[in-house]
Amino acid sequence: MIDLRDTFWVLPALLVLAGLGAAEVAIRADTADWGPDWLKAHLYSGGETGARTLLGAIASSTIGVTGTLFSITIAALTLASSQMGPRLLDNFTRDRGNQVTLGVFLGAFAYALLVLRQVRGGDDDVFVPQIALAGAMVLALLCVALLVYFVQHISTRINIDTVIELVRRDLFRALDDLTEEAPEPPPRQDVDWSKAVPICDDRHGYLQQIDEAALADWACAKGICVRLLVRHGDFLTPGGVLALVSAPVDGATRVINRATAVGGRRSASGDLEYSVRQLVEVAVRALSPGVNDPMTAMTVLDQLGAALCRVSRRHLPNGVTMRDGTPVLVRPTTDYEGLTAAMFDMIRQSGATAPAVLIRMLDVLALVAEQERRPSRLKALRRHADLVLADGRRNLANRSDLKDLSLRHRRFRQVAEQGGPARRAGFALL
């Protein structure tokens, strides 16, 4: 499935159509001799030769600048994305400022061409559209302003801190959309799966969308329960089992296939770990030997910690959809342990020899533990803290670094066991 919000061509195409429409309206206004005389006195007053020259200059310059500017920009983005990951290119194509800039430049080009074909010379049939030419000059000035804006805008977009902030916003938005403020009631577990029928799928690709409401309504109408075996972001192989149906039902394969969408890449819609992995990718690339930028990895850890603090006040879905008190759809979901594993495992493995990264990871875990009081979640945080300490003891040769790491680990244990006041008192001794 294609999300039009993520496509680069939709808004520019609409602006090109708007430019063509504006040209047609301006030409009709000139043909009808619309407008007061005082206004016409301030519009273009040259002949048809000057009008053709002006419109030709606007058309050629706008299309030339557009091609050159975006070619250089794509080259710069390609070099930058090798260090920060392909997410940078996604941000470029989704950015409304980039789309508006391209659309206005191309719209000005289309506007100038359409007006140019209406300029006529000769002794008997001279037509110089004053209003349309004034509009062309306004568009030209707007393109100059957008050129300055675009250079400044794209220079900030390839900054690593800006990229991290953009992905952080996507992560927080996903957390708000895919978690609940109140806990869901515990699901009933009385579904009889002894006669379950497997539903196979010949498609391959990443599961991008699940129409849960439609699938649950269909299962309720048939008096069955559907159990999906894959979740958002999982890769489907041809012939693999996609779901189980509690009882045989005609047309189940067709209905389940229509309720799920498969694509060639993961999608942020419904996939809680998608934005997490984009942030993690930035940190892992920063810790590679070719880049060696632990400061970026530490910034990513701070943002991941902020995300977990946000999760501490919310509840993850249990994946069970009920109708009339009966479960009709069961699907796998991301739990807290899986979420923290997606956040910290790869960074810890890549930064096992970087003491600053390991120390910051323990600090972040302590900050999260200060706000998180649920025992099951604290157990997952303890697991990661113990893994950090074990990696540090195995890979760090400097005793001072090991001492700092062990001290952070002890402070984390105090926070996990005693809460926020213990953390503040403990860190005051550092």
Percent of the chain scoring above 90 in pLDDT: 55
CA angle 384, 385, 388 (to 5 degrees): 85
User: pLDDT by residue (tens digit) across 10-58?
Assistant: 999 999 999 999 999 999 988 887 766 656 656 777 788 888 999 999 9
Q: What is the mean pLDDT of residues 215-241?
A: 92
Q: Kindly report the backbone phi and psi dihedral angles of residue 395, in degrees, each rounded to the nearest multiple of 5, phi listed first.
A: -115, -20
Predicted local distance difference test score (pLDDT) of residue 39? 61
pLDDT at 430 over 60: no
Higher-scoring residue by pLDDT: 9, 125: 9
Neighbouring CB atoms inside 10 A of 68's CB total: 10
The whole-angstrom separation of Cα 100 and Cα 15 is 8
Identify the band that residue 319 occupies on the pLDDT scale cut at 50, 70 and 90.
Answer: confident
What does R_g of the chain's alpha carbons equal in angstroms?
A: 30
Residues in a beta bridge with 198: 244
Retrieve residue 233's tokens: 């972001």
Neighbouring CB atoms inside 10 A of 135's CB total: 24
Distances (CA, A) of 347 to 184, 285, 350: 32, 10, 5
User: pLDDT by residue (tens digit) across 365-417?
Assistant: 999 999 998 999 999 999 999 999 999 999 999 999 999 999 999 999 999 98
Predicted local distance difference test score (pLDDT) of residue 423? 46
Q: Are 191 and 225 in contact (CB under 8 A)?
A: yes
pLDDT at 298 over 50: yes
Predicted local distance difference test score (pLDDT) of residue 275? 82
pLDDT at 339 over 60: yes
Predicted local distance difference test score (pLDDT) of residue 429? 40
Higher-scoring residue by pLDDT: 216, 184: 216
220 class by beta-carbon count within 10 Å (0-12 exposed, 13-18 middle, 19+ buried): middle
Sheet architecture: strand order including 320-323:
197-201, 240-245, 226-228, 326-330, 320-323
pLDDT at 419 over 90: no
The whole-angstrom separation of Cα 126 and Cα 56 is 18
The whole-angstrom separation of Cα 174 and Cα 161 is 20
The whole-angstrom separation of Cα 279 and Cα 300 is 6
Most confident of the following: 90-104, 196-210, 380-394: 380-394
* pTM as predicted: 0.82
Least confident of 156-165, 248-257, 325-334: 156-165
Identify the band that residue 6 occupies on the pLDDT scale cut at 50, 70 and 90.
Answer: low
Predicted local distance difference test score (pLDDT) of residue 420? 54
Higher-scoring residue by pLDDT: 309, 291: 309
Q: What is the mean pLDDT of residues 140-151?
A: 94
Reduced to 3 states, what is the DSSP secondary structure of residue 147?
helix
pLDDT at 427 over 60: no
CA angle 193, 194, 200 (to 5 degrees): 65
pLDDT at 74 over 90: no
Identify the band that residue 3 occupies on the pLDDT scale cut at 50, 70 and 90.
Answer: low
Predicted local distance difference test score (pLDDT) of residue 36? 64
Least confident of 73-87, 168-182, 233-247, 266-280: 73-87
Predicted local distance difference test score (pLDDT) of residue 189? 61
- Average pLDDT of the chain to the nearest whole number: 87
Predicted local distance difference test score (pLDDT) of residue 200? 93
Distances (CA, A) of 238 to 202, 203, 235, 279: 4, 5, 10, 30
Q: What is the mean pLDDT of residues 347-363?
A: 95
For 28, residues 6+ apart whose C-beta sits below 8 A from its C-beta are none
Q: Kindly report the backbone phi and psi dihedral angles of residue 263, in degrees, each rounded to the nearest multiple of 5, phi listed first.
A: -140, 180
The whole-angstrom separation of Cα 336 and Cα 378 is 10
